[in-house]
Structure 1
């Protein structure tokens, strides 16, 4: 039985909400484009440093650390602080890619932090339930549940006060 994203959104975010409640982070909600956005009280660089530390502490592989803002500045271009981390684990990704190789376009996991026009830092990532729907996979698959829980825990640590 495959449930729709709308039906599974509360389930997919349950692990993330539980994890974020444990560290007093704001409640999570995916938008219409499948993005979960969190407000951070820290700068972009501090938010990403905190996220990176949480990822490394959990033993998850960081595949890329891309500082878009610094890259733009190196080319004498102005851009607000924007930073992307790409990370993951074959324990989560491999079963999903066996089920549908096209999900590899969305894996490994990506989390981006940026500063908006008001100086507020934001953190965003793809809602695992959205990825499941996008790729025609059941959102209640164990890898999606693990992804939701880990993303909730890791991002909550990045934005906690």
Structure 2
């Protein structure tokens, strides 16, 4: 009897995973939902958004916005250019490293290991279809990764700042 109940519970759990749209459109065949770049990256702890600009233009806008907000750009890494320097190819890929000690220091005081993920980094890259993406570590991911406790306000402020500068960099 327990085996039958377990099998029935498993069948119910599996069937509840199918989306209503898939059941309505093809009741005899459940189609997998294709994942978007943003959904895939969310699973990796990244916030990802599309940019209508080139990698270069998005990165240029981002650097200007960061500096206008009083933050410091510590480095701009052009991975494509570095690859070309050793006779390799890579799609356009740049990483902007930046920060503000007023935001990072309190976070490190909560959990010093978060320093491995600071300064903040934003990746701007082009995929195989030449679509440009902007990505950064989700502060909630950093909270979990480093078991940060008692810094929700700081993490919230960082999340708001990252969202604001990212959206400004990809704006038309």
Asked if these proteins are the same fold (TM beyond 0.5), I'd say yes
Matched, 1:117 2:128: yes
Report the alpha carbon displacement of residue 139 of structure 1 after superposing the two structures with TM.
7.6
Report the alpha carbon displacement of residue 89 of structure 1 after superposing the two structures with TM.
0.8
After superposition, the Cα gap between the structure-2 partners of 1:125 and 1:139, relative to the gap in structure 1 and judged at 3 Å, is farther
Q: Which residue is 2:64 aligned to?
A: 53
Aligned residues: 135
After superposition, the Cα gap between the structure-2 partners of 1:49 and 1:68, relative to the gap in structure 1 and judged at 3 Å, is same
Larger Rg: 2
Unaligned segments of structure 2, at least 5 residues = 1-37
User: Per chain length, whose mean CA-contact separation is higher, i.e. which structure has more relative contact order (CA < 8 Å, sep 6+)?
Assistant: 1
1:34 equivalent among 34, 40, 45: 45
C-alpha distance in 2 between matches for 1:99 and 1:119: 40
C-alpha distance in 2 between matches for 1:90 and 1:127: 19
Q: CA offsets, 1:74-130, max 9 Å, x none? A: 222111000000101111111111111111111110100111000100010001111
After superposition, the Cα gap between the structure-2 partners of 1:139 and 1:115, relative to the gap in structure 1 and judged at 3 Å, is farther
Report the alpha carbon displacement of residue 37 of structure 1 after superposing the two structures with TM.
0.5
2:91 equivalent among 52, 67, 80: 80
Unaligned segments of structure 1, at least 5 residues = 1-26
Q: CA offsets, 1:118-148, max 9 Å, x none? A: 0100010001111111111148622211111
C-alpha distance in 2 between matches for 1:139 and 1:67: 36
When structure 1 is superposed on structure 2, of 64-73 and 136-145 the one drifting more is 136-145
Matched, 1:152 2:155: no
Give the aligned CA root-mean-square deviation in angstroms: 1.9
Q: Which residue is 2:25 aligned to?
A: none
8 Å contact kept, 1:44–1:81: yes
1:76 alignment partner, SS class: coil
